[in-house]
Each structure stands twice: as structure tokens, then as C-alpha cells.
Amino acid sequence: MSDTVLRADHIDVAYEAYDGTRPTRAVRDVSFELRRGELLGIAGESGCGKSTLAYAVARCLQPPAKLTAGSVTFHGRDGGASDLLALEGEALRAFRWNKLSIVFQSAMNALNPVTRIGRQFDDIFRAHRPGMPGPERHERARALLDMVGIDSARIRSYPHELSGGMRQRVVIAMALALEPEVVIMDEPTTALDVVVQREILDEVERLREELGFSVVFITHDLSLLLEISDRLAVMYAGGIVEYGPCDRIAQGAGHPYTQGLLRSFPELTGQRRALRGIPGSPPDLREELAGCPFADRCERAFAPCRTVAPRQVALPGGGYAACHLHDPAHAAAAAAGPLHEGSQP
């Protein structure tokens, strides 16, 4: 059985403009793999393409978003491989939630406010397990609530009768209802206080170890992903600029953008240090990007960064960074120093 459960290759997604102007290329040539049982973190600023990538992989894109290139392959526990982009109609419907499920951003608002929790679970089983008897559906719903730490008596509650953390747990339980092999979690702890956030993360980790599913965890909070991820992908301007084991990135990030993210939050231990944000703004994704998309904001940018697109360069410790600083072909130009006066290495 393959160690890889999900592989995405060269994914491109564009948002078409209604006025006929240039489309916005929100995801640009993104590839990654998800191993069985691992948690892959995807980090980056708002607008870098994280959620769009997740929806493309899960086949949840809605117009004007359009998948323009790439492939997604799912390797099931039974040893079979499925081309997700070739699935249509009932085949796609049968795949979703049975093999791959998603916890959407603002998941606390995903519950129907006028329907009891139990009925919402029941709808899942009626749609995907039509042969399951009513009493069995009811018991399965109660068991799922117990599994995520909610009193099963809450099955008769309406969403407004639950706290934010409880509603988030209910949505996670729904994502796990059909025992999928992959769960994509898009900002699952947004709008929760830090105590509840910690409880949710502990719950996800416990369930992952207990049930053996794989997780793609998307958030702008790099410090959070450094704590919970096995591997990490850092996105910028629609592409992955750094990818590799979480420990390696935490100890020595290879891309200046990742280094900037690491400098932007305080450490709980060690000496105090000044926090430094990343100056400037991300580029306009409607435009064709010449060279490195981070060049205008990078304090270490040198001549080729303006005109030559960086390639993925393997780094010691695993993974890669899409940065000319690590490319032997540009070693001489890098030695000449950065373009920006007063830049710090």
C-alpha cells in the first residue's frame, strides 16, 4: 500500500473577471503530497491562495473560480488510485465525505440554525448511507458527539444553544461521520479564544491518532502549525515557496518569506527580541509575475530575483525553497549583495 494518500500536481486556479479583464491566478503551479496519517500544514498571508487550493483539491470550487491545470490523485487503503478531477456526478458525490471531507472556514456558521443537531447528522446518513436504519443513525450521531467530547444529550440542541467551541466540535464530528481517509481543515480555530483553540487542536490530534486519517490543516498562523504539523508548506502569491519537515523549517527556514513570518510572532521562551513585520504588500495576482513574486518585499533580493523565476532547490534536512539564494546557478550574483540599500542579511 502506498505511503501517499493524496497527491496534487501542478494545480492552477483562476478567478474569471465578469468584465472580461485579466483573470486572477489565485493558485499557480502548486504540487504537494499528503502521507497516510500525517498532518500537513499550509501557511501564508490572507489572499495567498490557501483556501482556493483546498477547494480545488476537494472539488468544491464555485464560479468564477476555475481549475485551469493540474491533477489530484487519491490512493485509498484498498490500494486503488482515483483521479479526483475525472470524477463526475454520483461518483464524485460518493467520494466526497466518504474518502475526503472538509471543515470549511467559519465552520461555526456552517450549521443550519433552525434544525436540531441530531437532524443534521441524520441528513448526512440519509444521503450517504441510505440503507442505514433510523435507530442506527441515531446511535451513530450520539457516538460521534461523544467522540469529540460533547454530551450526547446535546443531539436535541439547536446550534444557538451551543458555545462556539462546541459548534466547532460538531462540525468536525460531521466531517468524520463517514470515516474519511483525508480531512481538510480550513482555519478550523478562527474566532475561538486561545483556550478553546487548544482544546480543539488536542481533540484533532487525539482523533487523528485514534482513527488514522490524514489532515491538511490550513491557517495563517505559522506558530500554530510549527507546533502541530509533521510537514509544512508555506504559500505566497499563489505558489508554494517553501516545503519540508516542520522541524527543519522551525530550526532554519530557507526562504526569506518564511523567515519573515517566523520573526513576526514572539517566542514564549528564550530572550526577548524585537518583532519585525514584513514590509509592503503581496503582488496583484491579475498580473503576470516576472522573477520572484517576493522580490519587492525581500531584504535579500539581488539582480536575478527581478527577472528570473526561482526554481525549487532542495535543502539539507529535507524539502525545498523556491529561492535564488540556494541556487548554485546564482551564487555569484548573490555574493554581490542585495539590491536594497541598507538591507540586512
Looking at residue 283, the DSSP 8-state letter turns out to be P
β-sheet bridge partners, residue 313: 321
Q: What's the average pLDDT block by block, 10 residues per block, for the chain (345 residues)?
A: 89 92 94 96 94 94 95 91 93 92 83 95 94 96 95 95 92 95 91 85 92 94 92 97 96 94 78 80 92 94 93 95 94 74 41
**Which residue type does 53 have?**
L
> In which element (H, E) is residue 176 found?
none
pLDDT score, position 340: 56
Listed in sequence order, the residues at least 6 apart from 130 whose beta carbon sits closer than 8 Å to its beta carbon are none
User: What do you get for the CA distance between the two ends of the chain, in Å?
Assistant: 45
| Alpha-carbon separation of residue 104 from 4, 111, 249, 289 (angstroms) | 23, 11, 27, 30
SS3 state at 191:
coil
Looking at residue 230, the DSSP 8-state letter turns out to be S
Distance CA 208, CA 176 (A): 10
Distance CA 218, CA 51 (A): 7
pLDDT score, position 319: 96
pLDDT score, position 268: 64
Q: What is the pTM of this model?
A: 0.92
Distance CA 327, CA 311 (A): 8
Q: Are 53 and 13 in contact (CB under 8 A)?
A: yes
> In which element (H, E) is residue 165 found?
helix 164-175
